[in-house]
Amino acid sequence: MEAGREGQAFTYANPDGLSVGVGDLVQVPLQGRRHAGLVLACLQTLPEDLAGKRMRAVEAVLQSAAVADAWQDLLLAVAEACHTSRFRTLKSALPPGWLGQRPRAPAGRLLCQISRVAPQVAAPVDPQLELSPRQRALLAHLDGHGGRRLLRDLLAADGFGRGLITALEAKGLVRRETVRGVPATRTAPLGLPPAPPRPLEAPRIANAAQAAAVEAIDSAAAGSTLLLWGVTGAGKTEVYLQAAARQLQQGRSVLLLAPEIGLIPQLLDRCRARLGPQVLEYHSGMGDAERVKAWRRCLDAAAAAEPLVAIGTRSAIFLPLAPLGLIVLDEEHDSSYKQESPMPCYHARDVAQRRASLDGARLVLGSATPSLETWLRCRQPQGEGGVQLLRLPERIGQRPLPPVRVVDMRLEFAEGHRRLISRPLMGRLQQLQARGEQAVVLVPRRGYRSFLSCRSCGEAVQCPNCDVALTVHRRNASAGSATEWLRCHWCDHRQEIAQRCGQCGSTAFKPFGAGTQRVMEQLAAELEGLRLLRFDQDTTRGRDGHRRLLERFAAGEADVLVGTQMLAKGMDLPRVTLAAVLAADGLLHRPDLRSSEHCLQLLLQLAGRAGRGELPGEVLVQTYSPDHPVIRYLVDGRYERFLEEELQLRRQGGLVPFSRACLLRLAGPSASATATAATTLVERVRAEVERQGWLVIGPAPAPVAKVAGRSRWQVLLHGPAATALPLPPEAELRRMLPPNVSLAIDPDPLQL
Ligand code: ADP
Ligand code: ZN
Ligand code: ZN
């Protein structure tokens, strides 16, 4: 049998006669350490090159049938598409910590145990029976441990040999059995929840568009993809729930993906209330053991042909649900679905696509602002990668979409109002309390100030480890006094506010830009009595951080929620009537192919938070560039028009998705070492890349050229759409690099 590590397969013996099959997760020794590996094949005869070689043995089966055959097909397809090894892909796909080096015994794994055969069956050591002193010692040892001991402890800790155990076994004095390593807390049997089941909430009465969408999903061909394009507040979730319920009735499981952990609790609550206890979660906010447990629950349910609903973030796309009837990717345009590192650099949407066709499931992509890629596929014939378009054109209850008002900050300035918060925004915020309404205010950055710059030489105070400016953070201690310090948002380095400029020695600094903390402070200063809550990475830490904060806001603890981009996503609060953006400019001018698309998506999503209930909503955008095309599309609310024009531009320019890009990211100990490595790599592959009709651009320093002390360079490859990457296998590329330079291959990078 074989087990993989870093893309290699190894062969192991199975002298203990453990019951091992393809797809099992087993524990094996490797280079003096204990590893978990996946069984790729079981060999009855040894291949010639291994004949006569000494082989290490499989120590235990950790999980039998951890993955199914069909699942391995998915894995292989993803590994190939992402130009990486099956092992790396496996490592990303399985619950973290399951594969690879194993420091200690996790709960509930299967181990081989040696136990004394009960004395009444085989009398205590019979003097007639010929036993060697070592054999006697082993039996005495076992008796000293209550008659049983794990095989691996007998071998490793106690120093007994395998032959000894086999001999005693042959004499009927001991036997081997499989046990769970550490008594696992028993999960309730499937279908029998521990608490008495709550009565399920009844489905809402679907409106015509919702009903049509549910029907279309239900009758869609296996393996097909549908785009559910509903404006914000159109009731997409209701469609997912009704479509999911139909799959469950037919005995098929459902996978529901959300782009961020923060969105999971709300979805989970809604699904459990409607679909019952067979709903499980899977995301990076859970501990490793919990994720293994969720994985096992999927395996058990698949074996028992019991349908489940799994809700999770991108890695949940690999959960071993079977048979799978429906995959939903909510907010399909969201870039969090893309894994940037480690390899494989996969997009959950692409994996979902493959999985839907392999498993015969339907894939529903849901969004109010679909990605350009998906929109393009809506215009292709179905069956040729085409996507069926389902529209929910109106909000529930025919509520209007909120109008967008642009505040030209240049005018505010010209009129002598030099504040962070414009007069129109102030006016709206002042009315909130009297009307019993709430607002969300988006600030592009967390922290207090974006950066500090030196008053004499103009240099920004930089992180010592990264090529980025440090952000000022602040803590209000007692009344009036506050401590400030600097923090890096890339490597989390923290330091005191610098006493002297590293460049010129000056001691005077000027702060620039406002983060969420400063906006809170300004709002509190200008609008007395306005109650505020901050919603950013710093205030939503922990498993339930998002949920707790949103619950407080929903309960009316505050009038305004000030937060970063996570504000824009998914929140459904009826009393929110105002969505404001403080400095849209920070989002507009980003040097990236997709920056317009992503910015417009974000702003429309934010706008979608306002006016979802009975009360009409409004959107207010503060900007210095009111004529920016993105702002114009936002005001007109014509997202489809934007997509069409953007597609046109991309087609004319021969840009993605009308061509293909691949990014090679290198990181090394110094700029020169990394640059040299990148140049060498390019020299080695250039001829073949160009021969296949691709272009090599670079190497060049990455946009952030240093992170956490590692220098980063990149090489961009550009080629015709729908062609294979013109690169040798990953392992070969790695061999072209010194060991201290790392490489990531991103076959379809989101950021260019
Ligand atoms: P979306 O995900 O499209 O932004 P949601 O699914 O969150 O919208 O729905 C918006 C609100 O409308 C939710 O509060 C939901 O409970 C409610 N809703 C959805 N469908 C219906 C319906 N058919 N009848 C009444 N209310 C509905
Ligand atoms: Zn200076
Ligand atoms: Zn840093």
Same domain (yes/no): 550, 669:
no
pLDDT at 204 over 70: yes
Instruction: Note the pLDDT of residue 480.
Output: 66
Same domain (yes/no): 367, 425:
no
Q: H/E/C letters for each residue in 589-655?
A: CCCCCCHHHHHHHHHHHHHCCCCCCCCCCEEEEEECCCCCHHHHHHHHCCHHHHHHHHHHHHHHHCC
- Lowest mean per-residue pLDDT among 50-54, 433-437, 725-729: 50-54
The ligand whose atoms approach the alpha carbon of 214 most closely is 1
Same domain (yes/no): 354, 455:
no
Same domain (yes/no): 466, 561:
no
Ligand 1, atom 9: closest residue by C-alpha:
235
The ligand whose atoms approach the alpha carbon of 573 most closely is 1
Instruction: Note the pLDDT of residue 129.
Output: 61
Q: Which of 93, 23, 106 is nearest to 64 (CA)?
A: 23
CA 79 to mean position of chain CA atoms: 17
Instruction: Go through the chain and tell me how many residues it has.
Output: 752
- In this prediction, residues 175-185 reach a mean pLDDT of 57
Q: Count the neighbouring beta carbons within 10 Å of the beta carbon of residue 13.
A: 13
Q: Ligand 1, from 201, 238, 334: best to mutate by most atoms within 8 Å of Cβ? A: 238
Q: Is residue 72 part of a domain?
A: yes
Q: Is residue 297 part of a domain?
A: no
Q: Is residue 189 part of a domain?
A: no
Same domain (yes/no): 455, 418:
no
Verify whether ligand 1 is closer than 6 Å to residue 396 (CB atom): yes
Verify whether ligand 1 is closer than 6 Å to residue 391 (CB atom): no
Instruction: Note the pLDDT of residue 78.
Output: 95
Q: Is residue 289 part of a domain?
A: no
714, 700 in Cβ contact below 8 A? yes
- For the domain that residue 675 is a member of, what is the CATH number? 3.30.70.600
Instruction: Note the pLDDT of residue 4.
Output: 45
Mean pLDDT, the chain, as a whole number? 85
DSSP secondary structure letters along 539-592: TS-STTHHHHHHHHHHTTS-SEEEESGGGGSS---TTEEEEEES-THHHH---S
- For the domain that residue 159 is a member of, what is the CATH number? 1.10.10
Verify whether ligand 1 is closer than 6 Å to residue 369 (CB atom): no
99, 91 in Cβ contact below 8 A? yes
- Lowest mean per-residue pLDDT among 218-232, 346-360, 611-625: 611-625
Same domain (yes/no): 21, 156:
no
Beta bridge partners of 254: 309, 326
397, 235 in Cβ contact below 8 A? no
Q: Which of 273, 274, 290 is nearest to 282 (CA)?
A: 290
Same domain (yes/no): 83, 21:
yes
Cis peptide before 657 (omega within 30 of 0): yes
Ligand 1, atom 17: closest residue by C-alpha:
235
pLDDT tens, position by position, 65-103: 888 888 889 999 999 999 998 888 998 999 988 887 765
The span from the CA of 250 to the CA of 445, in Å, is 47
Instruction: Note the pLDDT of residue 112.
Output: 72
Q: Please say which residue of 57, 85, 101 terminates a domain.
A: 101
Verify whether ligand 1 is closer than 6 Å to residue 235 (CB atom): yes
Alpha helical stretches, state H, 692-719: none
pLDDT tens, position by position, 448-497: 788 888 888 888 888 888 888 888 888 876 666 778 888 888 888 888 88
Q: Are strands 560-563 and 438-442 parallel, antiparallel or unpaired?
A: parallel
Q: Please say which residue of 179, 198, 226 terminates a domain.
A: 179
- For the domain that residue 388 is a member of, what is the CATH number? 3.40.50.300
Verify whether ligand 1 is closer than 6 Å to residue 237 (CB atom): yes
Beta-carbon contacts of residue 140 (< 8 Å; ≥ 6 apart): none
Ligand 1 atom with the shortest distance to the CA of 234: 3
The span from the CA of 327 to the CA of 349, in Å, is 10
Beta-carbon contacts of residue 442 (< 8 Å; ≥ 6 apart): 563, 564, 565, 567, 568, 579, 580, 581, 582, 606
Instruction: Note the pLDDT of residue 237.
Output: 94
Q: Ligand 1, from 227, 334, 396: best to mutate by most atoms within 8 Å of Cβ? A: 396
Verify whether ligand 1 is closer than 6 Å to residue 115 (CB atom): no
Q: Is residue 184 part of a domain?
A: no
CA distances from 122 to 126, 163, 397, 750 (A): 9, 20, 78, 68
Instruction: Note the pLDDT of residue 190.
Output: 42
Ligand 1 atom with the shortest distance to the CA of 270: 16
Verify whether ligand 1 is closer than 6 Å to residue 203 (CB atom): no
Interval between CA 470 and ligand 3 midpoint (Å): 8
Domain count, the chain: 6
Q: How confident is the model at residue 124 (pLDDT cuts 50, 70, 90)?
A: very low
Verify whether ligand 1 is closer than 6 Å to residue 234 (CB atom): yes
Q: Provide the domain limits for residue 216.
A: 209-276+302-398
Return the SS3 of 36. Answer: strand
Same domain (yes/no): 353, 475:
no
Same domain (yes/no): 570, 641:
yes
210, 235 in Cβ contact below 8 A? yes
Q: Is residue 125 part of a domain?
A: yes
> Edge-to-edge strand order for the sheet containing 148-150?
148-150, 110-116, 174-180
Q: Is residue 603 part of a domain?
A: yes
Verify whether ligand 1 is closer than 6 Å to residue 236 (CB atom): yes
Ligand 1, atom 25: closest residue by C-alpha:
204
Ligand 1, atom 18: closest residue by C-alpha:
235
Instruction: Note the pLDDT of residue 103.
Output: 56
- For the domain that residue 8 is a member of, what is the CATH number? 3.40.1440.60
Ligand 1, atom 19: closest residue by C-alpha:
235
Instruction: Note the pLDDT of residue 109.
Output: 55
Verify whether ligand 1 is closer than 6 Å to residue 569 (CB atom): no
Q: Please say which residue of 491, 512, 533 terminates a domain.
A: 512
Verify whether ligand 1 is closer than 6 Å to residue 230 (CB atom): yes
Q: What angle do CA 37, 43, 47 make, to 5 degrees?
A: 105
pLDDT at 579 over 90: yes
Instruction: Note the pLDDT of residue 22.
Output: 87
Which of the pair, 286 or 132, is modelled with greater confidence? 286
Selection from 200-204, 274-278, 279-283 with the highest mean pLDDT: 279-283
DSSP annotation of 386 reads B
Q: How confident is the model at residue 5 (pLDDT cuts 50, 70, 90)?
A: very low
The span from the CA of 17 to the CA of 686, in Å, is 51
The span from the CA of 196 to the CA of 202, in Å, is 18
Return the SS3 of 29. Answer: strand
Interval between CA 91 and ligand 3 midpoint (Å): 27
The ligand whose atoms approach the alpha carbon of 505 most closely is 2
Beta-carbon contacts of residue 680 (< 8 Å; ≥ 6 apart): 736, 737
Q: How confident is the model at residue 183 (pLDDT cuts 50, 70, 90)?
A: very low
Same domain (yes/no): 521, 598:
yes
CA 301 to mean position of chain CA atoms: 24
- In this prediction, residues 297-309 reach a mean pLDDT of 92
- In this prediction, residues 179-207 reach a mean pLDDT of 59
Same domain (yes/no): 340, 365:
yes
pLDDT tens, position by position, 30-78: 888 888 888 888 888 887 877 777 888 898 888 888 888 888 899 999 9
Interval between CA 232 and ligand 1 midpoint (Å): 9
Same domain (yes/no): 600, 677:
no
Alpha helical stretches, state H, 13-68: none
Which two tokens mark 480?
């009036």
Q: Is residue 292 part of a domain?
A: no
Interval between CA 669 and ligand 2 midpoint (Å): 27
The span from the CA of 672 to the CA of 678, in Å, is 10
